Amino acid sequence: MRHTLPVAPQFYVTAPQPCPYLPGQNERKLFTSLSGEGARALNDTLSKQGFRRSQNVLYRPACSDCAACLSARIRVADHAPSRSQRKVLRRNAKLRREATSPWATEDQYELFRRYLDTRHADGGMADMDIFEFAAMIEETPIRSRVIEYTESASPQTEGLRRAARKLVAVCLTDVLDDGLSLVYSFYEPDRAADSLGTYIILDHVELARQVGLPYVYLGYWVPGSAKMAYKAQFGALEVYRDGEWRELGDPGDYCAPPHPLAVRPITEQVAAITLPAPDPVRNPLG
């Protein structure tokens, strides 16, 4: 008879490095490996506690003297697009959405490179080659989808091959037990007037509504960061703060930097993490 003991995930901390969002700050991440049969349950459980997935790793900011990064999600049932967001929906109404398995293509990479070269030429992903891009898309131990947005085909060309359609936006999306998580999105940079980034989020809200999932996870909102300001523009937004999800309220209330002594030590942060319940061990004798 073989007995299998549950193995708790091990958590690690990265070395401090310059924060990409707030000048003068250093960032540090708490992370754990995501693999094995329990990967999906671990991802579902930790995503509800502010963690994000990157390939086979789950991570959360754990800076020593700052707690500005707040995980954000949209409450689907209560979300209503603003007037400007309704215009975004109308401008992109002709786009066609298609959900595929997480498989990288040359068309995706070409669009990804145009996006990075135009929007994030000095970012941490600027030197990513096609093999690293494929790893970002394909290395997922959980249920993930690539959501592609293409120009709608006319009735005369509906029967043409998929390759004949123009790819304008892509989003790598994880399917959680309580929502959709936008892992990474990119889009045609010469269509700034179409607000494709906003459209992708709005469309995911609609997709979550269609399949009965209550939340859309947007990653981190960082008060004081111009790069992340757009997330506060979505209605029914919640942020994970002090161990619970709260209504965002007035974004201006988050502008004051947290006192360094208010940041809990790493050991306390890890001790407060709730892990998924282990699967019951099956009796081999029936």
Per-residue pLDDT of the chain (286 residues; tens, 9 = 90+): 344 444 689 999 999 999 988 888 899 999 999 998 899 999 999 999 999 999 999 999 999 888 899 999 999 999 999 999 999 999 999 999 999 999 999 999 999 999 999 887 666 677 889 999 999 999 999 999 999 999 865 555 445 555 568 999 999 999 999 999 999 999 999 999 999 999 999 999 999 999 999 999 999 999 988 888 999 999 999 999 989 999 999 988 887 666 666 788 899 999 999 999 876 544 333 3
3-state DSSP call for residue 202? helix
> Is the domain defined by 73-242 classed in CATH 3.40.630.30?
yes
Distances in whole angstroms, Cα of residue 114 to Cα of each of 97, 107, 120: 21, 11, 10
Six token digits for residue 177: 């037990």
Residue-level pLDDT at 2: 43
Distance CA 282, CA 271 (A): 29
Residue-level pLDDT at 227: 86
Q: Is 43 exposed, middle or buried (0-12, 13-18, 19+ CB in 10 A)?
A: buried
Distance CA 120, CA 116 (A): 5
Boundaries of every domain in the chain: 73-242
Got the DSSP string for 153-199?
PPGGGTTS-GGGSPEEEEEEEEE-SSEEEEEEEEE-TT-GGG-HHHH
Got the DSSP string for 80-121?
---HHHHHHHHHTTTEEEEEE-S---HHHHHHHHHHHHHH-T
Most distant pair of Cα atoms in the chain: their distance: 65
